[in-house]
Amino acid sequence: MEAKTHIALVSIPVFSHQVSLLEFAKQLIHLYKDSFHVTCIIPTISNSPSIASKPFFDTLPSSIQCIFLPPINFEDLRNEVRLESQVQISVSRSMAYVFETLRSISTNSNLVALVIDSFAHEAHKFAKELNILSYTYFPCSAMVLSMCLYFSKLDKIITCEYKDHPTPIEIPGCISVHGIDLPDSAQDRSSLAYNLFLHRSQQLHQTDGIIINSFLEMELEAFKAISQNGPSGHGTSTTPNVYPIGPIVQTRPNIQNQACECLLWLDNQPPNSVIYISFGSGGTHSQYQINELALGLELSKHKFLWVNVKQPNNKASASYLSNEEVDPLHFLPLGFLERTKGQGFVMCGWAPQVEVLKHNAIGAFLTHCGWNSILESIVHGVSMIAWPLFAEQRSNAELLTSGLRIAMRPKYDSKGIVVKEEVVSVIQGVMESEEIGRRMKELQKFANCAMMEDGSSMKTFSMLALKWKSLRNLV
pLDDT tier, 447 (very low <50, low <70, confident <90, very high otherwise)? very high
| Residues 435 and 464 both lie in one domain | no
pLDDT at 258 over 50: no
pLDDT at 253 over 70: no
Cα–Cα distance, 401 to 406 (Å, whole number): 6
| Residues 115 and 38 both lie in one domain | yes
- What's 393's domain CATH number? 3.40.50.2000
At 275 the pLDDT is 98
| Residues 394 and 442 both lie in one domain | yes
- Interval 173-231: pLDDT, tens: 999 999 999 999 999 999 999 999 999 999 999 899 999 999 999 999 999 999 986 54
Query: Domain range holding 21?
Result: 5-246+451-474
Which region among 54-58, 163-167, 201-205, 395-399 has the lowest average model confidence (pLDDT)? 54-58
| Residues 313 and 172 both lie in one domain | no
Helices (H) and strands (E) in the chain — how many of each?
20, 13
| Residues 233 and 286 both lie in one domain | no
More confident residue, 76 or 226: 226
pLDDT at 255 over 50: no
| Residues 234 and 307 both lie in one domain | no
Strands 110-117 and 64-71: unpaired
**What's the whole-number average pLDDT of the chain?**
91
Question: b/e map of 360-389 (b: 16 or more CB within 10 Å)?
Answer: ebbbbbbbbbbbbbbbbbbbbbbbbbbbbb
| Residues 462 and 422 both lie in one domain | no
| Residues 296 and 187 both lie in one domain | no
pTM above threshold 0.85? yes
| Residues 242 and 327 both lie in one domain | no
Q: Report the 10 Å Cβ neighbour count for 409.
A: 19
| Residues 96 and 62 both lie in one domain | yes
Write out the catalytic residue numbers. 17, 117
pLDDT tier, 415 (very low <50, low <70, confident <90, very high otherwise)? very high
At 317 the pLDDT is 60
| Residues 318 and 394 both lie in one domain | yes
The count of structural domains within the chain is 2
Cα–Cα distance, 213 to 467 (Å, whole number): 19
| Residues 35 and 139 both lie in one domain | yes
